[in-house]
């Protein structure tokens, strides 16, 4: 082996990939620092990293961190420039999610659900709603949360003139504890689809319990929101004749999958890097190993090599699925059912694969960091707890079946809330 050099001189610009980023950076999973939004996200990640383990342990609200995200301007990264946003591709939003997930799955999750709620306004809201909400969000760096994950019929609505009045509760309400706006959905008897609306979290009758008790993703506030005679105005109900029934409107399910994929990929990368830093700085060779430094043990080298290769493969499959998502999203209402189907396959494959890799990497890192790394305060297990928790929300089994059926017959999955 050549003399170990912790930081090799950066390769010259000539040794760079198609987009000009040096290969050395690409191989190290670095977000492209020449993209100002990704550079900003990387900067935030470093700040979040300082107390990510401690905050994970504490649970509750990452108040300061949310404030930093607000100030960064990233909440409007994908909002069109005409509404005061940054007009970046949807893939950039998910690259930010991935970047956050490298140290903090909860903040990644909150950002991803914010993006998800905003895009619901695109896929099923009217032009007017988009203009109004996007402008307000961009101007004030508003945060969006969600109460629509659960499918239990725990929320009832009655008509009162043009308004609805809601009573009941919602579980799994990610981001509600930090949000300015939340999305809310309910079923109406005799109607096959659900009605959805957006509400400011200051709306009378809303109570956000902040009772989330997940074993992972602990600062996502994915707890209960109760509704006591909460009034929803007609113009708060998402409704669009333009998008209704279009393939484009069904992309929303693929955004949810892309959020998961980004969190899985970032978690695997982050776990691998945090473990590496621990091993190099703290680990000692096993007594029976016969080597002087832990990095001399062929076992330690091999395991890191295997985990790296998997993570790199997952990253590229996730990257591809984001490029496909950009293609699909940019097609807008012209998107055909076949194009939507192809996007669903790419995104499902990346989702399944990155979830499996993330579960493996986040558990196996301990093998190479060793007994003394396994403390509650160090929190190296938060990566596994985050991924383990989050993989349960849209089981890989059904995504695999969809991919397999497509490979067999060319059939695409029926668009629904999950795929």
Of 3 and 241, nearer to a copy of itself (C-beta) is 3
User: How far apart are CB 239 and a copy of itself at their closest, in Å?
Assistant: 24
Of 56 and 104, nearer to a copy of itself (C-beta) is 56
Structure-token pair, residue 273 = 């890097």
Of 197 and 300, nearer to a copy of itself (C-beta) is 300
C-alpha 230: how far from chain center:
29
C-alpha 10: how far from chain center:
30
Of 201 and 261, nearer to a copy of itself (C-beta) is 261
User: How far apart are CB 229 and a copy of itself at their closest, in Å?
Assistant: 28
Cα-based distances in Å from 126 to 96, 197, 242, 247: 27, 12, 8, 16
Task: Enumerate the β-bridge partners of residue 305.
Answer: none
Structure-token pair, residue 401 = 């079946």
Backbone angles phi, psi at 181, to 5 degrees: -125, 145
Of 129 and 283, nearer to a copy of itself (C-beta) is 283
User: How far apart are CB 368 and a copy of itself at their closest, in Å?
Assistant: 9
User: How far apart are CB 133 and a copy of itself at their closest, in Å?
Assistant: 28
Of 137 and 362, nearer to a copy of itself (C-beta) is 362
User: How far apart are CB 313 and a copy of itself at their closest, in Å?
Assistant: 4
Residue pair 74/92 in contact by the 8 Å Cβ criterion = no
Cα-based distances in Å from 183 to 35, 60, 175, 232: 30, 21, 10, 11
The DSSP secondary-structure symbol of 28 reads T
Element (DSSP H or E) covering residue 137: helix 127-140
Cα-based distances in Å from 156 to 29, 185, 186, 193, 230: 46, 10, 7, 15, 11
Q: What is d(CA 227, CA 222) in angstroms, rounded to the nearest whole number?
A: 16
User: How far apart are CB 304 and a copy of itself at their closest, in Å?
Assistant: 3
User: How far apart are CB 271 and a copy of itself at their closest, in Å?
Assistant: 12
Of 87 and 379, nearer to a copy of itself (C-beta) is 379
Of 121 and 260, nearer to a copy of itself (C-beta) is 260
- C-alpha angle 206-210-213 in degrees, rounded to nearest 5: 140
User: How far apart are CB 326 and a copy of itself at their closest, in Å?
Assistant: 9
The DSSP secondary-structure symbol of 372 reads G
User: How far apart are CB 193 and a copy of itself at their closest, in Å?
Assistant: 14
Cα-based distances in Å from 44 to 108, 208, 271: 11, 27, 17
Strands 163-170 and 144-146: unpaired
Element (DSSP H or E) covering residue 166: strand 163-170
Only one residue has tokens 């059912």, namely 337
User: How far apart are CB 22 and a copy of itself at their closest, in Å?
Assistant: 8
Of 14 and 159, nearer to a copy of itself (C-beta) is 14
Side by side, which strands form the sheet with 181-186?
Answer: 144-146, 181-186, 195-200
């Amino acid at each position: 082996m050549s003399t170990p050099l912790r930081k090799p001189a950066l390769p010259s610009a000539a040794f760079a990939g198609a987009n000009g980023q040096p290969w050395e950076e690409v191989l190290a999973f670095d977000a492209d620092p020449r993209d100002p939004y990704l550079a900003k996200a990387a900067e935030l990640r470093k700040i979040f990293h300082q107390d990510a383990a401690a905050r994970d342990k504490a649970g509750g609200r990452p108040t300061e961190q949310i404030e930093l995200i607000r100030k960064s301007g990233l909440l409007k990264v994908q909002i069109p420039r005409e509404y005061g946003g940054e007009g970046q591709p949807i893939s950039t939003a998910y690259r930010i999610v991935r970047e956050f997930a490298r140290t903090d799955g909860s903040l990644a999750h909150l950002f991803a659900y914010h993006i998800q709620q905003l895009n619901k306004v695109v896929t099923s809201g009217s032009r007017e709603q988009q203009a109004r909400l996007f402008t307000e969000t961009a101007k004030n760096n508003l945060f969006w949360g969600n109460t629509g994950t659960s499918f239990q019929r725990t929320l009832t609505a009655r008509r009162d003139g043009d308004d609805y009045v809601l009573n009941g509760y919602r579980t799994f309400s990610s981001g509600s504890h930090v949000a300015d706006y939340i999305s809310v959905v309910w079923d109406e008897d005799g109607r096959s689809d659900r009605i959805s609306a957006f509400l400011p979290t200051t709306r009378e009758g809303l109570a956000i319990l902040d009772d989330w008790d997940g074993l992972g993703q602990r600062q996502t506030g994915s707890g209960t929101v109760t509704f006591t005679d909460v009034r929803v105005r007609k113009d708060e109900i998402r409704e669009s004749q333009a998008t209704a029934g279009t393939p484009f409107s069904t992309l929303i399910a693929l955004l949810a999958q892309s959020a998961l994929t980004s969190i899985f990929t970032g978690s695997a990368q982050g776990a691998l890097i945090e473990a590496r830093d621990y091993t190099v700085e703290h680990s000692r060779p096993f007594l029976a190993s016969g080597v002087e430094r832990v990095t001399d043990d062929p076992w330690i080298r091999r395991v890191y090599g295997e985990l790296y290769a998997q993570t790199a493969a997952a990253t590229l499959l996730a990257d591809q699925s984001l490029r496909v998502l950009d293609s699909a999203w940019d097609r807008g209402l012209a998107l055909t059912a076949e194009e939507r189907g192809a996007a669903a396959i790419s995104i499902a494959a990346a989702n399944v694969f990155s979830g499996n890799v993330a579960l493996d990497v986040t558990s196996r890192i301990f093998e190479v960091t060793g007994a003394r790394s396994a403390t509650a305060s160090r929190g190296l297990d938060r990566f596994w707890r985050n991924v383990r928790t989050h993989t349960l929300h849209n089981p890989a089994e059904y995504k695999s079946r969809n991919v397999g059926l497509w490979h067999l017959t060319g059939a695409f999955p029926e668009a629904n809330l999950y795929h």
